[in-house]
Amino acid sequence: MARDIRLHKSSICPAEPPGPSVFTDLPGPKTMELLEDLTQVTQAKSVRLFADYSKSIGNYLVDVDGNVFLDLLMQFSSLPLGYNHPSILNIFKDRKNLLSIANQPTLGAFPPSDYPESILFILMSIAPVGLCKVIPAVCDAVATENALKSAFITHKMKQRGKISFTQAEIESAMINLPPGSANVSILSFRGSFHGRTMGALSVSHAKYIHKMDIPAFNWPVASFPAYSYPLQQYNQENSREDERCLCEVEELIETFKKNDRPVAGIIIEPIQTVGGDNYASIYFFQKLQEITKQNSIPLIMDESNTGGGVTGKMWCHEHFSLPSPPDMVIFGKLAQVSGVYLKHEYM
């Protein structure tokens, strides 16, 4: 029998329980029963519990066995206002929103009449300063893919100019060979995570299990600064670490250029999350942007986990006092929609 959850009054979420309450072995018996059913038809190695979302509220997640957990991750940063917040639930009472969900519009061909308004007055209202275009996406990984493709297409367009595709490009693209399939690369950083689709995995280096047995592009991977703490005691050491990593970026750009696989974009997280809560200095990000500008390479900030106000600013890169905005900013999770903001020239 599921246990009753004693409630207490809270000005933020009145229905929240007074605290966590675990009274079965973990995973609980109902979770184990459901897991046995699930594993008969699909891979479920990552399942830790089955949630009862009808009882989850605010900061607390309730499982099918009645255990109550204080959820510090909020569905891996995907819930901006906690579980079952009235403002979120009310969105789905709007018939207009239900119609969009029920009819699954192909937005690129048959968008609903309110789509321009949604883009202009909702998505663009929180766009990073200096980024005037947006490409919505179904998830963070797809947003990453769109950012990479925008970098590649822009790189080749600069070379090609307004000349139309050659017959050789058209034919070779259809069999995944140059010149149609461009021999270019994206520079990423050790410890990074940008998604689990094919291109996103090639720029992700957080956990081997994400990448094992899956083909990947042979693209450059630079070191992300690994500082000594407390910071104030290791100023000189950490400054040298910044310079080491920045030099590595420059060397990789030059090496791949010489090997006819030029870097068409640099992608980085303002704070590495999946890779271990890793930070880099304001100086590092400013110099990195300087390097990208010197080499005419777009700087892509992946703010899937850091956007939406979780760092005290709408976008984490705003803390870095960059001389100019990044060229692209990937967003998702807390925004409840995913996509990539871009400067005009990358659209």
Whether 3 shows a pLDDT value over 80: the answer reads no
CATH of 127-346, one of 3.90.550.10, 4.10.410.60, 3.20.20.70, 3.40.640.10: 3.40.640.10
What mean pLDDT value characterizes the chain? 93
pLDDT at 15: 83
Identify the residue with better confidence: 78 or 30.
30
Angle in degrees, CA 50, 52, 56, rounded to 5: 125
How does pLDDT run across 303-317, given as a tens digit for each residue?
Answer: 999 999 989 999 999
* Superfamily classification of domain 1-91: Aspartate Aminotransferase, domain 1 (3.90.1150.10)
For residue 140, what are its two tokens?
């963070």
Min mean pLDDT across 50-59, 88-97, 279-288, 297-306 is at 88-97
pLDDT-derived band at 11, boundaries 50, 70, 90: low
pLDDT at 7: 44
* Amino acid letter for position 63: D
pLDDT at 324: 96
Whether 77 shows a pLDDT value over 90: the answer reads no
Q: What is the mean pLDDT of residues 173-187?
A: 96
Q: What is the mean pLDDT of residues 183-206?
A: 97
Whether 1 shows a pLDDT value over 70: the answer reads no
Q: What is the mean pLDDT of residues 137-166?
A: 93
pLDDT-derived band at 161, boundaries 50, 70, 90: confident
Phi, psi of 217, deg, nearest 5 = -75, 140
Would you give the distance in Å from CA 28 to the centre of its chain?
32
What does pTM read for this prediction? Answer: 0.91
pLDDT at 175: 97
pLDDT-derived band at 8, boundaries 50, 70, 90: very low
pLDDT at 6: 47
pLDDT at 64: 97
Task: Specify the domain boundaries for CATH 3.40.640.10 within the chain.
Answer: 127-346
Task: Specify the domain boundaries for CATH 3.90.1150.10 within the chain.
Answer: 1-91
Whether 211 shows a pLDDT value over 50: the answer reads yes
How does pLDDT run across 82-93, given as a tens digit for each residue?
Answer: 999 998 899 888
Q: What is the mean pLDDT of residues 33-52?
A: 94
pLDDT-derived band at 12, boundaries 50, 70, 90: low
pLDDT at 162: 73
Whether 347 shows a pLDDT value over 90: the answer reads no
